[in-house]
Amino acid sequence: MTRGRQILSPERFKITLSRLAHQIIENYSTDESINIVGIQEKGVIMAERLIQILTEKQPKKHINFGKLDITFYRDDFRIRSTPLKANATEIDFQIENKKVILIDDVLYTGRTIQAAMSALQDLGRVEKIELMAMVDRRFNRHLPIMCDYTGIQVDSLDEAYVKVEWEHLDGNDKILIFSAQKN
């Protein structure tokens, strides 16, 4: 893959995560718990970073955190050329009749979110699912799914690739866009 163009710097990345945390604080100002579920793997990373900020801002607020694996809920898991690696689903709190914030790093076609909602519904009937993504590629949707909380919106060609990089994995927090590969 060619070198990507940075579309969100480490400084702006930090500001964006902080803004998302403040939006949650604003929407969950009552005594109710915040129930956060990250989609394995990058959604979990984003959720953990967000929880860190929320805990610093509101140390007394109760936050439930879960990790959701959607491998066998994906509509392409049987037709991929390479087998998918499943991760554990770790949700140790009741989601029945609760509001849940579902987190992933990039919202693209909506298929990952559809799979995640199916997986969540198998665990219980939630009151409401709110969706958060660091990047919303809004003009590339295959399904009618939209974010309640969005870091940035990216309008790009369908063939382009957007990558969220995380400091502890990639050295810096930033978002890159890669142009389509030329044959």
88-97, 105-114, 124-133, 156-165: range with lowest mean pLDDT: 156-165
183 — pLDDT class (breaks 50, 70, 90): very low
Higher-scoring residue by pLDDT: 112, 157 = 112
Closest-CA residue to 177 (of 164, 147, 152):
164
List pLDDT tens digits, range 43-62: 999 999 999 999 999 999 99
Higher-scoring residue by pLDDT: 174, 73 = 174
Residue 70 has pLDDT above 90, yes or no: yes
Please give, one letter per residue, the 3-state secondary structure of 102-133.
EEEEEECCCHHHHHHHHHHHHHCCCCEEEEEE
> What domains are defined for the chain?
10-23+32-171 (3.40.50.2020)
What is the C-alpha separation between 179 and 156, in angstroms, rounded?
9
What mean pLDDT comes out for the span 119-133?
A: 96
Residue 182 has pLDDT above 60, yes or no: no
The token pair at 43 is 């959604």
| Predicted TM-score (pTM) of this structure | 0.92
What mean pLDDT comes out for the span 102-131?
A: 96
List pLDDT tens digits, range 77-105: 556 677 777 888 999 999 999 999 999 99
Q: Residue written as tokens 């803004």?
A: 19
